[in-house]
Structure 1
Amino acid sequence: MNTEKKLLNRMQAYCARAERCRFDVETKLKQAGADAALCERILQQLVEERFLDDERFAHAYARDKYCFNGWGPRRIALELGRRRIPAAVVTAALSALQEGDDKPEDTL
């Protein structure tokens, strides 16, 4: 079993490489053998240290998938939902996408 400090350092490095959501980090922690209490402590510390932010993740994910993969709003919303992003955050990310320079209607 890994120590809490070791797991925290691994998750900080994991989050520093790319935007991550809480669900992705929690899945990684469980794969590493962390129990629920340890997962929650590490996740809370990552949020406090701003390594982890679901809203920031949702905006970045929506922008990247729309611009680089050509996904539409429905597909993006579905994938964010699979990652357990709250509906209000998904709506905000999609509305920010609608307000940008490259609107989905323009692509059509």
Structure 2
Amino acid sequence: MKKEYTLEELLHKAASYCSISEHCISEVEDKLNAWCIECDDKVKIINRLIDEDFINEKRYCAYFVKDKFRFNKWGKVKISYALKQKGLSDELINSALQTIDEGEYDEMLAALLKTKLTGLKYEFEYEKQGKLFRFAQSRGFESNVINRVMRNIPQISK
């Protein structure tokens, strides 16, 4: 037989989940759905978690952007798309993306492209350019940034 939890126990369980790492509302909703919690209880729990600052979407966005840029080496397009998938507002997303230093952003892309270039097989110069461009796009970097960075790397801009 499945154990029945009181609202307070569920709230404590959800708070514990949120205190382990940052989560947005949609992630907490998914977790509550997995626990088969009724809709009105879900709303009460989420509102209480927001009131007690266990859920803070602005803070979540900032950490998400920082982590995906630094550790996953994602560009702004890919980060933005991932945050939109989680139901976050454009305002929050754009504000968090502004925290990425442009110089650091360009350096990250240049390092990625140089690394990719070492293992790249190509016959013609335009083929190399195309492969590097598509690779950078798949990492979520914007076309204008890719073009600018590629022009400034001697091994690429021949």
Please give the TM-score of this superposition, normalised by the length of structure 1. 0.92
In the TM superposition, residue 98 of structure 1 has moved relative to its aligned partner by 3.6
Aligned to 2:135: none
For residues 101 and 26 of structure 2, the distance between their equivalents in structure 1, rounded to whole angstroms, comes to 25
Whichever residue aligns with residue 38 of structure 2, its letter is D
Whichever residue aligns with residue 107 of structure 1, its letter is M
For residues 97 and 55 of structure 1, the distance between their equivalents in structure 2, rounded to whole angstroms, comes to 15
Q: Which of 15-24 and 90-99 deviates more?
A: 90-99
What percent of counterpart residues are identical?
Answer: 26
The size of the alignment, in residue pairs, is 106
Aligned to 2:91: 88
Which is higher, the Rg of structure 1 or of structure 2? 2
Aligned to 2:72: 69
Bigger share in helix: 1
Q: After the TM superposition, which segments of 4 or more aligned residues of structure 1 sit over 3 Å from their partners?
A: none
Whichever residue aligns with residue 15 of structure 1, its letter is C
Deviations 1:31-71 (A, max 9, x none): 11112211110000001100001110000000001001101
Q: Relative contact order (alpha carbons < 8 A, sep ≥ 6): 1 or 2 greater?
A: 1
Aligned to 2:23: 20
Aligned to 1:106: 107
Structure 2, gaps ≥5 residues long: 110-158
Aligned to 2:136: none
- Structure 1 position 43 matched with structure 2 position 38: no
Structure 1, gaps ≥5 residues long: none
For residues 103 and 92 of structure 1, the distance between their equivalents in structure 2, rounded to whole angstroms, comes to 17
Aligned to 1:56: 59
